Amino acid sequence: MATSWRSCLTLCFLFLLASASMAQLSPSFYSLTCPTLRVVVLLRMTQAVLQEPRMGASILRLFFHDCFVNGCDASVLLDDTATFTGEKNAGPNANSLRGFDVIDDIKSAVELVCPGTVSCADILALAARDGVVLLGGPSWTVPLGRRDATTASQSAANSNLPSPASSLSQLISAFSAQGLSARDMTALSGAHTIGQARCVNFRSHIYDDTNIDADFASQRQQNCPSSGGDNSLAPLDLQTATEFDNAYYQNLVGFQGLLHSDQELFNNGSQDSLVQQYSTDGSTFFSDFAAAMVKMGNIKPLTGSNGEIRLDCRKVN
Q: Write down the pLDDT at residue 10.
A: 44
**Which of 161, 193, 227 is the C-terminal boundary of a domain?**
161
**Which of 108, 137, 161 is the C-terminal boundary of a domain?**
161
Residues 258 and 210 both lie in one domain = yes
Q: Write down the pLDDT at residue 95.
A: 87
- Overall residue count recorded for the chain in this entry: 317
CB atoms within 10 A of CB 181: 13
Domain that holds residue 84: 36-161
Residues 215 and 289 both lie in one domain = yes
Report the Cα–Cα distance between both ends of the chain, in Å, rounded: 47
- Tell whether 303 is covered by a domain: no
The answer to whether 260 is a known catalytic residue is: no
Residues 185 and 129 both lie in one domain = no
Query: How many domains, the chain?
Result: 2
Q: Write down the pLDDT at residue 149.
A: 97
- Tell whether 112 is covered by a domain: yes
Helix (H, G, I), strand (E, B) or coil at 160: helix
Residues 85 and 121 both lie in one domain = yes
Residues 172 and 291 both lie in one domain = yes
Binding residues for heme b: 192
Catalytic residue among 44, 54, 61, 65: 65
Helix (H) or strand (E) holding 233: strand 233-235
Q: Write down the pLDDT at residue 13.
A: 43
Residues 89 and 178 both lie in one domain = no
Binding residues for substrate: 162
CATH number at residue 264: 1.10.420.10
- Tell whether 204 is covered by a domain: yes
Binding residues for Ca(2+): 66, 69, 71, 73, 75, 87, 193, 237, 240, 245
Residues 149 and 269 both lie in one domain = no
Q: Write down the pLDDT at residue 8.
A: 44
**Which of 126, 161, 196 is the C-terminal boundary of a domain?**
161
CATH number at residue 83: 1.10.520.10
From first to last of the 317 residues of the chain, give the pLDDT tens digit: 444 445 444 444 444 443 343 458 999 999 999 999 999 999 999 999 999 999 999 999 999 999 999 999 999 999 998 888 999 999 999 989 999 999 999 999 999 999 999 999 999 999 999 999 999 999 999 999 999 999 999 999 999 999 999 999 999 999 999 999 999 999 999 999 999 999 999 999 999 999 999 999 999 999 999 999 999 999 999 999 999 999 999 999 999 999 999 999 999 999 999 999 999 999 999 999 999 999 999 999 999 999 999 999 999 99
Residues 76 and 61 both lie in one domain = yes
Q: Distance between CA 215 and CA 227 in Å, rounded?
A: 20
**Angle at CA of residue 295, ends 289 and 299, nearest 5°:** 140
Binding residues: 66, 69, 71, 73, 75, 87, 162, 192-193, 237, 240, 245
- Tell whether 14 is covered by a domain: no
Residues 212 and 276 both lie in one domain = yes
**Angle at CA of residue 270, ends 211 and 178, nearest 5°:** 105
- Tell whether 186 is covered by a domain: yes
Residues 152 and 175 both lie in one domain = no
231-262 per-residue burial string, b: 16 or more CB within 10 A, e: under 16: ebebbbbeebbbebbbbbbbbbeebbbbbbbb
Q: Write down the pLDDT at residue 22.
A: 41
Residues 77 and 116 both lie in one domain = yes
Residues 177 and 124 both lie in one domain = no
Amino acid, res. 49: V
- Tell whether 227 is covered by a domain: yes
